[in-house]
Structure 1
Amino acid sequence: MPHITTNGVQLYVEDTGGDRPAVLFIAGLGYDEWFWAQSVAPYLRDDYRLVMPANRGAGRSDKPAGPYTTAQMAADMLGLLDALALEQVIVVGHSLGGFIAQELTLAAPNRVRKLVLAGTSFGGPQSIPPTPAALAVLMLDRTLDPMELIRRGLETAVAPAFLAAKPPMLDALIAYRLTTPVPPEAFQSQLMAGAAHDAADRIAAIGCPTLLVAGELDQVVPPGNVALLQAKLPQAESVVIPDAGHLFPIEKPQETATALADFFRR
């Protein structure tokens, strides 16, 4: 799939195409379409059209100078939907992608048929912040040795059992991080966009069917945020993926895909 120009940037997009129901997958901090292509996409591609962009600042998309905002990144996504002539989609956002998905849904509710907020919160001081260990990793000097950054990041991003088992997906994840680095300036711009996001007083306006998904052992966005989100969105359903951390789509792809598919079908 070629790059698509939207909102003044070129975004790289993988789109499985077809006339099946469309799902827009928005990745989190520093990730791109690989995150979804290597996790849930194989379980969903036969039944859904999967649209998987790299956000500004990540992957093969443009990396303009910051600052970025989640509202700006949501405008990127709306321009992408326009370019693809997609009037209404299911939106799935993970972590920072969940913040972007919130802004997209609030800005253009008529474009979002269903919403999945995965491993995310509504942001701001009313949400539960990362654990001290996870926060320390987020604040690391991004010019450190890449393997050191990866090692430190994995310690808080995935469940201990995933690291101990050393599955092939762990090797693939490490290889991806080594071959698809995010420039420090772009990482910082994405990080600050997430840090400034606060939809606590606005998120209750979301009226579409919503699913909240969390990893039981998430240190980056602790799963207690699900209850806080559900208090604002009482109509929302929730699923907690057991024995998984923040990267639960990577750690437990089949379980995550099953939760998504069950929600999509209803």
Structure 2
Amino acid sequence: MTELDVASHDAITLETAPTRYIEGPGIRFAYRRLGLSTGTPLVLLQHFSGNIDAWDPAVVNALAADRPVIAFDNAGVGRSTGRTPDNVAAMARDAVDFIDLLGLAEVDLLGFSLGGCIAQQIAAEHGRLVRKLILVGTAPKGGEEHLLAVLQEAFSQTDAPDPRLPLFFTKSSASRSAGLAFLKRTKVRKNDRDTDNGRPVTDPQAKALITWCATPDPEHALLHAIRQPTLVASGSHDTMLPASNAYAMFKELSNAQLILYPDSGHGALFQHHETFVSHVRTFLDTQPPAA
């Protein structure tokens, strides 16, 4: 029996699920699980600086309505112990260790931003572990990024209630309104909230993301190693990891679909959460054609 077999589907949400822990060599991983106790688990890989409570409950809870969903803190993040690596390959190894500790032989991956880089690395190296892959607001090796410039701009906007508002959403009234609603949803949980560990997490994560995008892969070897069905999604006006990255991945992946969401930035999946969940469900539930 795996860890997931004992999960209860009854009214557990991201806001109410207990934070659980599982011990690995040198790392004690913090995670929450919700949704069904059967089916292929969907493992969530979080963005730069984010922890479990940075996920949007509107996305996570809706996805968990018909499948197991697992959100976790990778090494050094939130309530997980260990040191946050400064490279994507090590982050991917830690994530695979976590999945192995749960006793899971096959998973789907949803990687957002930096999490999408980690998801690519895992899918390329562990073909039998990953059934399907969802890449959101991310970039391939050698892709375009503007992390430091965008962070500097966002933190200079002192009138913003949260840096994620200018980071994840556009300046339009519709996008800003959706952003404020997103921020409100992420703050619903009051007890047992995850922790922000500051620069010991963000400094190595920034180095990992910048190095990933600065490392040329002219033959697209990593993308070509990914054989799993892949859904690539991006906001039309993502200033951190521009939508050109999504198109570049779509062209090089062997079995990919591409979705661009209108009037949206890095947090398109949160702004268009109902549509995004619908697209993800359709993608995950579609059976491959018979050989």
The aligned counterpart of 2:240 is: 220
2:281 is equivalent to residue 261 of structure 1: yes
Q: Conserved in 2, the CA contact under 8 Å of 1:123 and 1:195?
A: no
* 3-state SS of paired residue (2:58): coil
**Quick one: which of 205, 220, 223 aligns to 1:190?**
205
Which stretch shows the higher mean deviation, 147-156 or 110-119?
A: 147-156
TM-score between both structures, scaled by the size of structure 2: 0.78
Q: Which of 30, 34, 50 in structure 1 is aligned with 2:53?
A: 34
Does the Cα contact within 8 Å between 1:6 and 1:76 map onto a contact in 2?
no
Task: Give yes or no for contact 1:27–1:97 (8 Å, CA) kept in 2.
Answer: yes
Structure 1: any 5+ residue segments left out of the alignment? none
RMSD after superposition: 2.9
Q: For the structure 1 residues 20 and 165, does the alpha-carbon distance in structure 2 shift closer, same or farther, using more than 3 Å as the test?
A: closer
- Alpha-carbon contact 1:27-1:93 (below 8 Å) kept: yes
- Return the match for 2:230 from 198, 201, 210: 210
SS in 1 for 2:111: strand
Indicate if the aligned counterparts of 2:121 and 2:222 stay in contact, CA closer than 8 A: no
* Pick aligned residue for 2:267 from 233, 237, 247: 247
Q: Distance in 2 between matches of 1:228 and 1:157?
A: 21
Residues 147-194 of structure 1: per-residue CA shift (max 9 Å, x gap): 679655532321223325664323345799x98434123211111111
Q: Which residue matches 1:82? A: 100
The answer for unaligned runs of 5 or more in structure 2 is: 1-18, 287-291
Which residue of 1 is the match for residue 16 of structure 2?
A: none
Deviation at 1:195, TM superposition (A): 1.4
Question: What is the rounded CA distance, in whole Å, between the counterparts of 1:32 and 1:265 in structure 2?
Answer: 27
Change in Cα spacing, 1:150 to 1:62, as seen in structure 2 (3 Å) is: farther
The structure-2 alpha-carbon separation of the partners of 1:36 and 1:151, relative to structure 1 and needing over 3 Å to count, comes to closer
2:138 corresponds, among 111, 114, 120, to 120
The 5 Å alignment of 1:1-266 reads 1-6=19-24, 8-16=26-34, 18-36=37-55, 38-62=57-81, 64=83, 67-124=85-142, 127-130=143-146, 135-138=148-151, 151-160=162-171, 161-164=174-177, 167-173=180-186, 180-197=195-212, 198=215, 200-266=220-286
Whichever residue aligns with residue 211 of structure 2, its letter is A
Cα deviation for residue 72 of structure 1 reads 1.0
Number of residue pairs matched by the alignment? 257
1:217–1:87 distance in 2 versus 1, CA, 3 Å: same
Aligned equivalents of 2:124 and 2:57: distance in 1?
Answer: 29
**Which deviates more, 55-64 or 183-192?**
55-64
Post-superposition shift, 1:136?
A: 1.8
- Return the structure number with greater helix share: 1
Residues 182/159 of structure 1: CA separation in 2 closer, same or farther (3 Å cut): farther
Deviations 1:221-261 (A, max 9, x none): 11111221122114211111222210122222111111111
The answer as to whether partners of 1:157 and 1:247 remain within 8 angstroms in 2 is yes
| Distance in 1 of aligned mates of 2:157 and 2:195 | 11
For 1:104 and 1:84, the matched residues in 2 are separated by 16
Query: Does the residue aligned with 1:240 lie in a helix, a strand or coil?
Result: strand
State the distance in 1 between where 2:194 and 2:254 align. 42
Q: Relative to structure 2, which stretch is displaced further, 89-98 or 167-176?
A: 167-176
Whether the 8 Å contact between 2:29 and 2:79 is mirrored in structure 1 is yes
Q: Which has the greater radius of gyration?
A: 2
The SS at the match of 1:12 is strand
Asked whether the 8 Å contact 2:22–2:29 carries over to 1, the reply is: yes
- Cα gap change, 1:107 to 1:263, in 2 (>3 Å): same
* TM-score normalised per structure 1: 0.85
Identity %: 25
> For the residues of structure 1 that align with 2:266 and 2:47, how far apart are their CA atoms?
10
